[in-house]
Amino acid sequence: MKGADDLLADRAAAAGEPGSALRPAPAPTPDTTAEQILAAAARLFGRQGFRATTLRQIAENAGIKAGSVYYHFDGKEEIAARVLDAGIHALTAAVRSHVDGLPAGSGARARLAAAVEGHLWGMLHHGDFTAAHIRIYRNVSDAARARHQPVRSAYTRLWDELLSDCAAAGVLRRDIPVPMVRQFLVGALNWPVDWYDPRRGPFERFAAQITALVFDGIVTEPELAH
């Protein structure tokens, strides 16, 4: 055990912070063993799923033996809960930093677009933790999910606020309840984890395409009765 709670949030925040490049590097920050375990677990969880990933694999990828893992964590379930937390923290930090990076006074629509780009950015750049989150969330024990739940709920609330602002500003379509829009939107944004291929073009273009799809849909004219 130690205070490894929000490793990724810290790292993401530091990366986005202007002065960070100037600070004297506080030792080349070799990852602690606990961090290496979490990183290895996230990578394997994302590729193989929760049950198919063994502690021995995690340990091997972290450069230690299986028994040593228990010095740092209570067991597999606790590791999973931490990975879930880190995945959401990475997304939250990415969304916040994209939204906060807008010019002051930006409208609700621009903020929503920035949030979409931020979510995609966090998902495809901290891919190990976010992909693991999407992959294992429904497979971990009820206890681990319950433990993680507040973190996830806060992220849901963040989106509900962004969307409520849009609704109040008249940006959002009015014929569909906001919670349903949120579920549709975040779901649609999560799927690219399965098929995004960075070799097919720059991330910015990809994000713009996805934003266009969720904002304006796939057809050219408004929906008629059918």
Partner DNA sequence: GTCTATATGTAGATAGAC
Partner DNA sequence: GTCTATCTACATATAGAC
Give, in degrees to the nearest 5, the angle at Cα 115 between 165 and 219: 85
Out of 7, 12, 44, 210, point to the residue binding its own copies (CB under 8 A): 210
Q: What is the rounded distance in angstroms from the CA atom of residue 28 to the CA atom of residue 203?
A: 28
Check residue 34 for interaction with its own copies (CB under 8 A): no
Q: Whose structure tokens read 């962004």?
A: 162
Q: What is the rounded distance in angstroms from the CA atom of residue 110 to the CA atom of residue 105?
A: 10
Check residue 49 for interaction with DNA (CB under 7 A): no
Residue 64's SS3 state is coil
Check residue 64 for interaction with DNA (CB under 7 A): yes
Q: Pick the piece of the chain touching its own copies (CB under 8 A) from 5-13, 27-35, 112-120, 143-151.
A: 112-120
Using CB under 7 A as the criterion, what x/- string covers residues 68-107 for binding DNA?
A: x-xxx--xxx------------------------------
**Segments of 23-72 assigned E as strands:** none
Q: Whose structure tokens read 């677009």?
A: 113
Can you give the binding site for its own copies, defined by CB under 8 A?
Answer: 48-52, 109-110, 112-114, 135, 138-139, 166, 170-176, 180-181, 183-185, 187-188, 190-192, 194-195, 209-223, 226
